[in-house]
Amino acid sequence: MALPNELDFLDDIFNDDTVDRFRSAAWLKSDFDDNIWMYNFDFKVDKALNWNVFLSNGSALTDSINRQLLLSLKYWILASTDRTIIAPVPGYNPMPSMSTMSRDFRAVLRIIDYFLLNDNEYQLDRFSFSAIDKDDLTALLDKIYSNKNASESMFNWSYRVSKYLKELISNTDISVIDAFINKHPDFKNVDEDVLKDCLLGLTRDEIINARVVMFLNDISNNKVGTGYNKFSFKGVVGLNTKKLSNILYENTLYIKGLNKPSFKSLNIKFNDEIQLIREFPPVSVTTKESDLLSNINLLEYQRGLRKLQVLNIMNLPSPSEETLSFLKNYVPSLENKKGRFKTLPYELVMKSLRDAIEFHIEYGDLLIDAYCSAVSFSSNNKMKLTSITSDQLSKIIPLKLIDFGVSRIGLTCINSGSDHLKSRGARTSSYYLKLRQNKGLIDLVNVYYGAVKVVVGVITARRDGELLDLNASFCLDNTEEWLVFSKRKSSKLMMGARNIEARPVDPLAVGMIKNLIRLQENLINFGFIDNYHPLFSAPKLNGSLGLNKGNRFSDSYMDLFCDYFETATNSKGERYYLRQHQLRRFFALLFFYSSQVGGVETLQWMLGHTDPEHLWHYITESITGDVLRGAKAQFVAESLHKGAKDYSNLCDFVLEKFNTTEFSIIDVDELEEYIGTLIEEGKATIEPEFFNENDTKKMQIITKVVSY
C-alpha cells in the first residue's frame, strides 16, 4: 500500500510486526483497511460500521488528510476487546466471552462517537489524540458518570431534540400548524404532570406545536399512509427516536442507529385511548432514585479510555502514559445529590388507605362480579359491551350496585344509553360529578384498581415497576400467603434473567389481588384475551374488551382513585395524586406513628394482627432495609420538628451538624436526611420496644445513641 508523501512517517508503523496484532479480531469480518466494517458478536447477522462520516471541518474521516486519525480510531476499537492491553500483570491474556467483548466494544464506540461529535473542541483533525490531556479525560469521565443514560450524559439527547423541534416549529408556517390542530384536536391534550417532568424544557404550546411538526416532518412512529389517509391515527403515537437519532447524530459511527429515550410529553393518544385529564393540576413530585451511572458500568468506560494505550504502542499521537495510568484509580468528583420525593401528609395517606380498604370491603367483590356478568352477557348475546343498555345492565348487576348509583357501562364510552359523555377527553365537571355519583361501572372498576394498587403498594413497599410486573397467573403462591415478584435491578450477570423473590402478603391484599385475577380469568374464558396479563392491567375505559398495560395506565387509575375520593389539595389548588414511590415507606411509617396516637389499632384493623410485636416482624420481613431506615428517619425528624421531647438524646449530633438544638427551625427534609445518615453509619438506632401493660402488649419507639 503506497502512502502519500506527507504520511511517509507511517512506514515505520506498517513495517512493525506489532501492527498485525491490532489489525484483526475474532469479531471483525472485514479487512482492516475497508471503509465499511462488518462485525459480529454472536449476532444472527453481521452488523456494519461505516467509517465514511464527516468532521466539523467538512472533510471525511476516510479522506487521506485524516488517515492518522482514522488509524487511531480503528486501532483503539480493536484494542477495546484485547485484554492484554492494560493487563494487571505481564502476560495476562484471558479470553473474554463474546458478550464481554461486545460490552467493551460498545463502550469505546460511544466514547469515539463523543469525540467525533466534539472533534472541533479537541482539534482532532490537527492533533489527533495528542492534545488531549488529563483534565479532558477526567472531565469526560465526570460527564459519563453524571447520568446513567449515556444519551443524556454524553450526547445531550434532550437538549438536541428540543433544539431541533424548535427549529422545525420556527420553519413551519403557523397557519399550517393551526389548521392541523383544528383537524386533529387530540394533539392539544397535554398531561400536566408529564409536562412538569419533561426534559425538553418546552412550554405547553411548544409541546403541541412540536407534536404537529413531528408528524409533518415524518419523525413520528405513526405509520404514514398516502393521500386522504396520510394522517390516519390510532392508539398512542409519539416520536420515532431512531429516525431522529439518525438525523441528529448523522456523523457518528454507532449511536445514530440506536433507539433513544422517548418523551411522554410528545405522545398523543388517539381513538380507543381515553384521555382523562385530572380534575386538578397535580402537586409535583421528584425522584429519589440516583441518576448517576453505576460504578460497574463506569469501570467499562474507564477501561475503554485506558485502551488508548494502544496508540502509544503503535507510535501514534496519544495522551501520555502517565495520564492514562491516572485514570485507573480516578473517582468522579460529582456528588450523588439525590432528589427527594415530596413527603405526603401523613393524614392524607391514612385517609386514602382507609378509603381504599372500605371501598374494597363494601364494593370490591360486587364490582368485579358485575363486570364479569356484563362480559358474560355481551358474549352470550354476541354484542359489544358498549351495546348493553341501562335497562339490560340493571338486570345483570347486583341490586346493591344499582342502589349505589350504577346505571351504565361507562361514562367515557359511547354506548346504547342516551346520556354518555361525548367529549371523552375533556376535563369536565360533569364527568367528575357523574363519577362520584357512581354512574359508570367501568369507571368504578378502574377506581377499584386504584384502591388495590394503594393497599398492595403500601403493604408490600415494592418499587412501582415490580408491582406492574406482577403476572396474574403466578403472582400468588399455592398457599396464597406469599406474593411472587420478578425483582428489578437484579439481572446483572444473569443473561437478562430476573431474580424471583417471594414476600409475605397479608390476607387483606390477597383478597384484592384475587379479584383482579378473577376478572382476567373471566376475559380469558370468553376469549377476549389470550392469556394472563400483568396483574394491574385494568379494563379499558372506552368499553372495548381488552386490558390496558403499562405504568401510564396505572397512573390513570391511581389519578381516578384520587379524584373519586377527592384527596386533599395544597394552597396552590394542586391535588395530591398518589404514586408508588411515595407510598413505599408509609406502611412502616404508619407503624411508628401508631405508637404516638395510642397504639396500633389502625394496623391491627387493617391486617388482623393483634400482637404489635408480630406486626413488627411482618413489617421487617416485608420491607427492604433502605425503605425501613427512611421511615425511621422520617418519623423521628417529623416528630422532633413538631416539638416531641422523646428523642432528645440526638441533641448533641444535631447541635454539631446544625449549630442549634431547636429542631423546629431546621428544615425537616435536611433533618430527616441527617438522621438517616446517623442510622446508616450505626451512630444511632431507632427501634420499637414492646412491653406488657394490664395484660395488653404495647410498644414505644426508642432511640439509642451508639457513639458520638
**45 and 87 both lie in a single domain:** yes
**378 and 520 both lie in a single domain:** yes
Query: Residue 574 is which amino acid?
Result: E
Residue 288 vs residues 95, 582, 584, 626: alpha-carbon distances, Å: 40, 9, 12, 12
Q: What is the pLDDT of residue 705?
A: 79
Using an 8 Å Cβ cutoff, are 424 and 275 in contact?
yes
What does the mean pLDDT of the chain come to?
82
Closest by CA to 562, choosing from 309, 366, 279, is 279
SS3 (DSSP) at 48: strand
Residue 379 within a domain: yes
pLDDT, tens only, 652-663: 777 778 888 787
Least confident segment among 8-17, 61-70, 88-97, 534-543: 8-17
Domain boundary among 222, 241, 269: 269
Most confident of 10-19, 275-284, 419-428, 475-484: 475-484
Q: At what angle are helices 441-460 and 365-380 packed, to 10 degrees?
A: 140
**357 and 469 both lie in a single domain:** yes
pLDDT, tens only, 237-271: 889 999 999 999 999 999 999 989 889 889 887 65
- Tell me the three cell numbers of residue 516: 383482579
Q: Does position 23 have pLDDT exceeding 70, yes or no?
A: yes
Least confident segment among 320-334, 542-556, 600-614, 676-690: 600-614
Q: What is the pLDDT of residue 499?
A: 63
Residue with cell 404514586: 579
Q: Does position 515 have pLDDT exceeding 50, yes or no?
A: yes
Secondary structure element (H or E) that encloses residue 21, with its range = helix 18-21
Using an 8 Å Cβ cutoff, are 409 and 440 in contact?
yes
Using an 8 Å Cβ cutoff, are 540 and 389 in contact?
no
Kindly indicate the confidence band of residue 425, based on its pLDDT and cuts at 50, 70 and 90. Answer: very low
Least confident segment among 235-249, 414-428, 537-551: 414-428
- Tell me the three cell numbers of residue 23: 489489525
**179 and 250 both lie in a single domain:** yes
Between 553 and 182, name the one with better pLDDT.
182
Q: What is the pLDDT of residue 414?
A: 63
Full DSSP string of 621-679: HHS-HHHHHHHHHHHHHHHHHTT--TTGGGHHHHHHHHS---GGGS-HHHHHHHHHHHH
Domain boundary among 565, 588, 608: 565
**116 and 264 both lie in a single domain:** no
- Tell me the three cell numbers of residue 698: 404495647
Query: Residue 693 is which amino acid?
Result: E
Residue 582 within a domain: no
**35 and 142 both lie in a single domain:** yes
Residue 588 within a domain: no
Closest by CA to 301, choosing from 476, 144, 99, is 144
Residue 288 within a domain: no
Between 621 and 188, name the one with better pLDDT.
188
Range of 243's domain? Answer: 157-269
Average pLDDT on 132-155 reads 91
Kindly indicate the confidence band of residue 490, based on its pLDDT and cuts at 50, 70 and 90. Answer: very low
Kindly indicate the confidence band of residue 147, based on its pLDDT and cuts at 50, 70 and 90. Answer: confident
**24 and 138 both lie in a single domain:** yes
- Give how many domains the chain has, as a whole number: 4
Q: At what angle are helices 241-248 and 157-170 packed, to 10 degrees?
A: 90
SS3 (DSSP) at 688: strand
Alpha helices (H) along 41-129: 67-80, 98-117, 119-122, 124-127
Q: What is the pLDDT of residue 552?
A: 58
Residue with cell 479525560: 137
Closest by CA to 351, choosing from 459, 451, 464, 284, is 451
**552 and 642 both lie in a single domain:** no
Distance CA 348, CA 340 (A): 19
Cα-trace Rg, the chain: 30
**643 and 670 both lie in a single domain:** yes
Distance CA 433, CA 60 (A): 65
Between 610 and 380, name the one with better pLDDT.
380
Q: What is the pLDDT of residue 606?
A: 53
Q: What is the pLDDT of residue 311?
A: 93
Distance CA 583, CA 552 (A): 17
Q: What is the pLDDT of residue 1?
A: 42
Q: Does position 489 have pLDDT exceeding 60, yes or no?
A: no
Kindly indicate the confidence band of residue 129, based on its pLDDT and cuts at 50, 70 and 90. Answer: very high
Q: Does position 625 have pLDDT exceeding 80, yes or no?
A: no
DSSP 8-state symbol, 87: -
Over pLDDT 90: what percentage of the chain? 45
Residue 589 within a domain: no
Residue 481 within a domain: yes
- Tell me the three cell numbers of residue 21: 496484532
Query: Residue 57 is which amino acid?
Result: N
Distance CA 53, CA 60 (A): 6
Residue 255 within a domain: yes
Average pLDDT on 18-30 reads 86
411 Cβ contact list (under 8 Å, min separation 6): 420, 421, 431, 434, 435, 439, 440, 443
Q: What is the pLDDT of residue 110?
A: 96
Residue 524 within a domain: yes
**509 and 415 both lie in a single domain:** yes
Q: What is the pLDDT of residue 5?
A: 54
Q: Does position 225 have pLDDT exceeding 60, yes or no?
A: no
pLDDT, tens only, 438-474: 999 999 999 999 999 999 998 887 888 889 889 999 9
Q: Does position 335 have pLDDT exceeding 70, yes or no?
A: no
With vertex at residue 163, the alpha carbon angle to CA 160 and CA 164, rounded to the nearest 5 degrees, is 85
Distance CA 627, CA 592 (A): 13
Q: Structure pTM? A: 0.60
Q: Does position 15 have pLDDT exceeding 50, yes or no?
A: no
DSSP 8-state symbol, 476: B
The residues facing 539 across adjacent strands are 547
Q: What is the pLDDT of residue 345?
A: 73
Distance CA 378, CA 374 (A): 6
Distance CA 672, CA 392 (A): 56
Domain boundary among 565, 599, 614: 565
78 Cβ contact list (under 8 Å, min separation 6): 22, 23, 24, 25, 28, 310
- Tell me the three cell numbers of residue 79: 484494542
**488 and 438 both lie in a single domain:** yes
Secondary structure element (H or E) that encloses residue 374, with its range = helix 365-380
pLDDT, tens only, 262-314: 898 898 876 554 556 788 888 876 534 457 787 788 889 999 999 999 999 99
**230 and 209 both lie in a single domain:** yes
Q: What is the pLDDT of residue 14?
A: 45
Q: What is the pLDDT of residue 290?
A: 53
pLDDT, tens only, 562-617: 999 999 998 888 899 998 888 887 877 877 877 765 445 555 555 555 577 877 87
Using an 8 Å Cβ cutoff, are 540 and 547 in contact?
yes
